[in-house]
Structure 1
Amino acid sequence: MYLILGVGDVGLEVAERLRRQGREVGFAVTDSRQASLLSGRAFKVERWDPAGELPQVFREAEALVVASQDLPSAEEMLKVIGERKKDLPPVLALVPDELFELDFKEKGADMVLPLSQLLADRLLGALEDLECMRQERELRRLLLSRKGRMLVVMQVNPDPDALASAAALKKYARAFGMEADLSCAGEVGGYYQNRVMRNLLELELLNLRAVDFEKYSIIALVDVSTHSGSALPKEIFPTVVIDHHSVPASEVQGKFKDIRITGATSTLLAKYLWCGGVEVDPTLAAALAMGIVTDTLYFTRGVTRLDLEVFQQLLEKADLDLLRSLHSPLLSKSAFDSLASALKRAKIVENCFLVNLGEIEDSEAVPQIADFLLQ
């Protein structure tokens, strides 16, 4: 059981949430009016006098939370607890701001949470959400103002992040009455995951070099922001650019531009879908989650708080069996054959592991083998 000492707005809210999670929560208060109020809300309540003996429930609790909004009362509680600390569970104290942190730790708190910092973190997150809402509304207005089709252009050889993001933008556009085609100038090969994702999302990709751009009223660059990265002809100007890579502003053209430094473009597209009220089905959720995983190298490269939050939300919706299959794709037979023969010729030179693949039937086996050997 978590035992909350004193009554405050934050402590009461935490108690309600813990109870909804099925956790046992109780209160220890010094005021009879507070005890009556809490009993009326079906909480376990223990009356105690800091000047007297500690009730047994203090020793039986998993943790003690000093949540009184009255600082002198909170300090008195900590003083009593500090004198008997060796017999008690860990103590968490809530304080108005960081100025009280050191003092409360000296008085016996094992952990101190300044409420001002928690509020600031929440406020910054809310402001970030507001910015996402603003950008989504701007993009929606642009789509609704145009007639015709959208062409979504990815990097020359799209990866899982690009494929998932492009599929998400296509779904977003359709929700507001515009159909979209996907295209790239190269191939979806190299990594087995790329081909699996393309098949699962049932993506039909046009060859960018053969596209009739006159058919489209909107050209959108996704997971790429420049002509050179996408092979978009220089005379064709994109209407929409959504990317997570940092590039000089002078190189980016577009009526609507959203270039935010996150770990993956999939993070941004997931937010567009949610802010636009567009349902994310389990397959697309798994694809977007995989886009985040691969582009952040399993959360070891360029990952941001927004990536982690979006990934967690996607997991609640994603087809987890599908996500696992994307996460650990099997090596193709040709890749296994090439790997077996290559290992016989492998050498270690200083800190390098050298593998000569020789002639191979399937060039796409090369990155598969490289990934396998790096694990």
Structure 2
Amino acid sequence: MSTYAILGCGSVGYAVAEELVAEDKNVFILDVDEGRVEALRDQDLDARHANISEESVAEAVADRDVILILSSDVDANAAAVEHIRALGDDQFVIARASDPVSADELTELGADVVINPSAVIADSALRALETGELEYKARQLGEVIDRTEHRMAVRVHRSPDPDSIASAAALQAIAQSRDVEADIVYDGEIGHQENRAFVNLLGIELVSRDGIDLSEYDTIALLDHAKSGEPEAEQTADIIVDHYEHEHEHDVEFADIRPSVSATSTILTKYIQELDLGLDQGVATALLYGIRAETLDFKRDTTPADLTAAAYLYPFA
């Protein structure tokens, strides 16, 4: 089992120590504040007083596998990294920086991993914001679908590609989970042989625009529609979901347009997750293929959101 040393046990170091001790890890703590050391000892932690910038500290932790240098004094952290690396490269060293400049310095001195608490907090806040926004948007989407009295039309762009078809199948599944019947409506033809095989193999039913009267649908969704080549200003809708910006403003009840992702299938996958919807194999396979097609098997403009969506879908596909 790995052994750990924490150099500098302020708020960050103490939080890490608590987690490691809770996992029954062997933790040794060094800190320059004698009062803090006494308080740590009162909690039955193995803590000793030391100035972590001194050379002797490297020898004091030489028997530890992992060194976490977490004091708020970046100069002391840099000195600790330098002294530890002077004894060898066997230990895994994590060091705390305060900004990109100090992060580069610590990396050059030999730290294996450099963390910036401010950046970590900001990243955590942004993730919380993203989660909160998705929860809010999912609730909005559900409310619009629930107001459907008769039937919903999910319109995809002309001669739809796998991303368009897959995202439509996902929205159809969301609607059906709320007891709302939905048709996937397309214009033109499903021209490419590969796209026809995609639809046939997965059993996705599409309805040609030529054979229906859109006025019979009381809810209309436009999915992956910005690149349709049709005049957007003439399109009416209640729901718009797309990964391309639209040239015209739409007065709709619900819109989620995210140029920050590479596939509309990615957006719909996030809603599937948020709504905790059971995925059947066909829809999961379609969404995964839609993401792969838009990103050229993750080789073109792939974002972290595309990758996490694909990872979620893979076990179901």
Name the TM-score, length of structure 1 as normaliser.
Answer: 0.67
Give yes or no for contact 1:162–1:265 (8 Å, CA) kept in 2. yes
Partner of 1:265: 264
The reply on whether 1:318 has 2:316 as its aligned counterpart is yes
Q: 2:245 — aligned with what?
A: 246
Tell me whether 1:205 sits opposite 2:194 in the alignment: no
Q: Distance in 1 between matches of 2:228 and 2:107?
A: 57
Structure-2 separation of matches of 1:77 and 1:25: 22
State the match for 1:11 in structure 2: 16
2:294 aligns with 295
- Counterparts in 2 of 1:1-375, with a 5 A limit? 2-6=2-6, 8-9=13-14, 11-12=16-17, 15=20, 26-30=26-30, 34=40, 51=56, 53-54=59-60, 57-58=63-64, 61=65, 63-67=66-70, 74=77, 77-78=80-81, 80-84=83-87, 86-98=88-100, 100-102=102-104, 104-105=106-107, 108-192=110-194, 194-225=195-226, 228-229=229-230, 234=234, 237-250=236-249, 252=250, 254-261=252-259, 262-315=261-314, 317-319=315-317
Instruction: State the Cα distance separating 1:13 from its structure 2 match.
Output: 7.3
Q: Structure 1 residues 292, 227: closer, same or farther in 2, change over 3 A?
A: closer
In structure 2, relative to structure 1, the CA distance for the partners of 1:269 and 1:87 (3 Å cut) is closer
Deviations, residues 164-209 of structure 1 (Å, cap 9, x unaligned): 10110011112223110112123334142x2343234322111111
Q: Quick one: distance in 1 between partners of 2:110 and 2:232?
A: 64
Cα deviation for residue 48 of structure 1 reads 10
For the 8 Å contact 1:10–1:67, the answer to whether it is kept is no
Partner of 2:174, secondary structure, is: helix
Counterparts of 1:239 and 1:112, CA distance in 2:
47
Deviations 1:255-281 (A, max 9, x none): 322211120000111112222232223
Structure 2: distance between partners of 1:243 and 1:156: 14
CA pair 293-34 structure 1, distance change in 2 beyond 3 A: farther
CA distance, structure 1, for counterparts of residue 308 and residue 198 of structure 2: 23
Report how far residue 68 of structure 1 moved: 5.0
Contact kept in structure 2, 1:170 and 1:180, CA below 8 Å: yes
Counterpart CA distance in 1 for 2:222 and 2:132 is 23
The answer for unaligned runs of 5 or more in structure 2 is: 31-36
Aligned 8 A contact 2:157 2:227 in 1: no
Tell me what 1:42 maps to.
Answer: none
SS at match of 1:257: strand
Which AA in structure 2 matches 1:279? G
**AA matched with 2:81:** L
Output the CA distance in 2 between the equivalents of 1:132 and 1:225: 22
Question: Which whole-Å CA distance do the structure 2 matches of 1:232 and 1:97 have between them?
Answer: 46
What runs of 5+ residues in structure 1 fail to find an aligned partner?
40-44, 320-375
* Cα distance between partner residues in 1 of 2:274 and 2:238: 21
Offset of residue 38 of structure 1: 7.7
- Which whole-Å CA distance do the structure 2 matches of 1:38 and 1:282 have between them? 52
Alpha-carbon deviations, 1:308-333, whole Å to 9, x = none? 22222223x323xxxxxxxxxxxxxx
Q: Distance between the aligned counterparts of 2:44 and 2:2, measured in 1?
A: 15
Displacement, 1:12? 4.2
- Tell me by how many angstroms 1:79 deviates: 5.2
Cα deviation for residue 137 of structure 1 reads: 1.8
- CA shift at 1:73, angstroms? 7.1
Residue range with higher mean Cα deviation, 254-263 or 195-204: 195-204
Aligned counterpart, 1:370: none
Separation of aligned partners in 2, 1:64 and 1:272: 41
Contact 1:244 1:263 in 2 (8 A): yes
Go from structure 1 to structure 2 and tell me whether the alpha carbon gap of 1:176 and 1:32 turns closer, same or farther (over 3 Å shift).
same
Q: Which amino acid aligns with 1:217?
A: D
- Number of residues paired by the alignment? 300
Q: CA deviation at 1:212?
A: 1.8
Closer, same or farther in 2 for the Cα pair 1:237/1:87, shift >3 Å? Answer: closer
- Alpha-carbon shift at residue 153 of structure 1 (Å): 1.1
**Normalized against structure 2, the TM-score is what?**
0.78
Work out the CA distance in 2 between the residues paired with 1:271 and 1:211.
31
| CA distance in structure 1 between the partners assigned to 2:197 and 2:18 by the alignment | 45
Asked if the contact 2:107/2:113 (under 8 Å) is kept, the reply is: yes
Listed one character per residue, the Cα deviations across residues 47-79 of structure 1 (whole Å, up to 9, x for unaligned) are: 897737446633xx3x53324567687566435
What secondary structure sits across from 1:162 in the alignment?
helix
Q: Give the whole-Å Cα distance in 2 for the aligned partners of 1:304 and 1:284.
A: 21
Deviations 1:99-124 (CA, angstroms, capped at 9, x unpaired): 64355456653442212112222322
Q: Which moved more, 1:260-269 or 1:282-291?
A: 282-291
* Structure 2 residue matching 1:112: 3-state secondary structure: strand
Separation in structure 2 between the aligned mates of residue 281 and residue 162 of structure 1, nearest angstrom? 18
